[in-house]
């Protein structure tokens, strides 16, 4: 099938007929052929063409190229959007990556303003092979080898489509020659300063010399890999759902029962649901933590402020903001008054005769008020007084399996001499209990809702 027929079929399959599209144009042979193919489609399927062009000011001939683009689009009655990236704004290093970011930001900005749903780029079979080999060389996750997709979501609400993917660079050059299309060569593509150029000049041609179907085979492998990964991802999502609690956390015991390959796939799926990147090393650390029975709590830093957290029987992903709790925060309890800790929690000190209990109240009974009483968070070396001595507050929290992330948020009731009477919600001091013959005079009430 010749290129025109092949392109016609792809435009229909991609659903671009008569749709508004923004063409990423660079004046190189690839995008020049793409634009020409779009312009020469039958009117019934031809998209509404808009052109976006970036003057990177990297080459001296960029002035000539920009002038040519403007004149060409004027003659062809094509709406043109131009952005100049001044040389002074270029970073000292990473110009290629910075340029890509500038381009795609400009494309999205233009599409948003003009109401254009599709971005069309001129990626082709050689680009696919080069990208695949570069990723293979660098190593990483298997999903990365899928390479360039025929289409994908772009900036949330747009679609990026590549109708030339699978077509060789040689075919595009031949088409340009036959149709006498004018295009500009980028001299930076002829050097071996970049890895992609070395792949383009040295590796891919040698592979094609061994087998002329190299480009097609790489595309076929990537299509098959994409299908397998899609099935594996769906299965992993189902298994992840099986071990999920209503709280949104996941059962460690159920995860441990999974076969070894599923353990990793399920963790990767958990990260994918939160758009969290995880490296191979981080994945191994997560597996080791969850399998370690002697470490009931722990966490693995995944980057971008995300952590995998293990808390006894459950695990989950958490995005850690500054959760610092001020250990010096303190409230004095005053008789027959409430102290509002938050919109959902409060403490009160009352005489028994005036206290009207409510459902779910937690109460500490005392027989005298010989010392001022306070509410505060725990501090190092806090101990709860008992008839047999004392017990570290830290040990109480551990015994009750309170996660580390929550321990500093626990409230204590103490005297002005920092004698702990109550680890709220967990344990009360024996010394706070009235003697059998004593009459209860007061109650400290904790309410949460």
Number of C-alpha atoms within 13 angstroms, CB side, residue 97?
4
Alpha helices in 45-164 (DSSP H): 62-76, 95-114, 125-138
- Per-residue confidence (pLDDT) for residue 192, from 0 to 100: 83
CB 159 within 8 A of CB 151: yes
What topology is assigned to 3-214 in CATH? Rossmann fold (3.40.50)
- Per-residue confidence (pLDDT) for residue 431, from 0 to 100: 60
Domains 3-214 and 243-319 in one fold: no
How many whole angstroms separate alpha carbon 125 and alpha carbon 164? 8
Residue pLDDT, tens place only, 211-269: 999 999 999 998 899 999 999 999 999 999 999 998 889 999 999 999 999 999 999 99
CB 313 within 8 A of CB 254: no
Q: In angstroms, what CA-CA distances link 18 with 11, 42, 331, 438?
A: 10, 10, 69, 89
Number of C-alpha atoms within 13 angstroms, CB side, residue 169?
14
Tokens of 195: 């890895």
- Per-residue confidence (pLDDT) for residue 322, from 0 to 100: 45
The answer, as to whether pTM is greater than 0.75, is: no
Q: What is the residue extent of each domain of the chain?
A: 3-214, 243-319, 330-448
Helices 260-273 and 214-242, interaxial angle, to 10°?
A: 90
Which residues, 6+ apart, have CB-to-CB distance to 54 below 8 Å? 26, 82, 83, 84, 85, 99, 102, 103, 106
Strands 411-415 and 420-423: antiparallel
How many whole angstroms separate alpha carbon 80 and alpha carbon 84? 13
* b/e map 162-172, b = 16+ CB within 10 Å: bbbbbbbbebb
- Per-residue confidence (pLDDT) for residue 144, from 0 to 100: 83
CB 96 within 8 A of CB 188: no
- Candidate CATH numbers 3.30.465.60, 3.40.50.1370, 3.60.10.10, 2.40.50.140; the one for domain 243-319: 3.30.465.60
Q: From start to end of 253-329, where are the E strands? A: 297-303, 306-311, 314-319
Residue-level pLDDT, tens digit, the chain, 449 residues? 699 999 999 999 999 999 999 999 999 999 999 999 999 999 999 999 999 999 988 777 889 999 999 999 999 999 999 999 988 888 888 887 888 899 999 999 999 999 999 999 999 999 999 999 999 998 878 888 888 989 999 988 999 999 999 999 999 999 999 999 999 987 777 788 778 889 999 999 999 999 999 999 999 998 899 999 999 999 999 999 999 998 889 999 999 999 999 999 999 999 999 989 898 889 999 999 999 999 888 889 897 788 899 988 999 998 864 455 566 788 999 999 999 887 778 999 999 888 888 888 899 988 888 889 999 998 988 999 877 788 999 999 998 888 887 888 889 999 988 899 999 989 998 765 555 555 778 999 999 86
- Per-residue confidence (pLDDT) for residue 433, from 0 to 100: 57
Which residues, 6+ apart, have CB-to-CB distance to 42 below 8 Å? 8
């Amino acid at each position: 099938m010749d290129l025109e027929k092949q392109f016609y079929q792809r435009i229909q399959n991609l659903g671009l007929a008569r749709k508004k599209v923004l063409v990423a144009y660079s004046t190189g042979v690839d995008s020049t052929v793409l634009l020409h193919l779009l312009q020469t489609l039958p009117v019934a399927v031809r998209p509404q063409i808009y052109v976006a062009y970036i003057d990177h000011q990297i080459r001296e001939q960029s002035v000539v190229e920009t002038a040519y683009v403007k004149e060409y689009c004027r003659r062809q009655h094509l709406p043109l959007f131009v952005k100049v990236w001044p040389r002074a704004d270029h970073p000292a290093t990473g110009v290629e990556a910075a340029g890509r970011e500038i381009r795609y930001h400009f494309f999205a900005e233009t599409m948003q303003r003009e109401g254009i749903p599709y971005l069309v780029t001129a990626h082709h079979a050689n680009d696919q092979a080069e990208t695949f080999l570069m990723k293979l060389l660098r190593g990483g996750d298997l999903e990365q080898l899928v390479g360039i997709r025929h289409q994908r979501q772009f900036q949330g609400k747009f679609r990026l489509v590549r109708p030339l993917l699978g077509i060789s660079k040689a075919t595009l050059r031949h088409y340009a020659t036959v149709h006498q299309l004018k295009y500009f060569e980028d001299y930076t593509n002829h050097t071996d300063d970049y890895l992609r150029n070395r792949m383009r000049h040295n590796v891919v041609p040698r592979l094609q010399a061994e087998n002329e179907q190299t480009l097609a085979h790489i595309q076929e492998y990537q299509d098959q890999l994409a299908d397998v990964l899609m099935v594996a991802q769906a299965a992993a999502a189902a298994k992840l759902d099986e071990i999920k609690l209503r709280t949104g956390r996941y059962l460690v015991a159920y995860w441990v029962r999974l076969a070894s390959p599923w353990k990793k796939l399920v963790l990767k799926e958990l990260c994918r649901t939160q758009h969290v990147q995880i490296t191979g090393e981080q994945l191994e650390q997560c597996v080791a933590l969850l399998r370690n029975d002697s470490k009931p709590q722990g966490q693995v830093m995944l980057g971008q402020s995300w952590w995998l957290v293990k808390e006894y029987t459950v695990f989950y992903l958490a995005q850690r903001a500054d959760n610092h709790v001020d250990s010096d925060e303190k409230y004095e309890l005053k008789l027959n008054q409430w102290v509002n800790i938050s919109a959902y929690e409060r403490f009160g000190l009352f005489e028994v005769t005036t206290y009207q209990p409510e459902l779910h109240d937690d109460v500490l009974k005392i027989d005298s008020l010989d010392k001022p009483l306070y509410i505060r968070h725990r501090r190092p070396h806090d101990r709860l007084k008992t008839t047999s001595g004392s017990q570290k507050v830290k040990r109480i929290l551990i015994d009750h399996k309170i996660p580390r992330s929550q321990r500093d948020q626990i409230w204590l009731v103490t005297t002005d001499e920092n004698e702990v009477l109550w680890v709220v919600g967990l344990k009360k001091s024996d010394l706070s209990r009235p003697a059998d013959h004593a009459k209860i005079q007061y109650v400290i009430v904790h309410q949460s809702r």
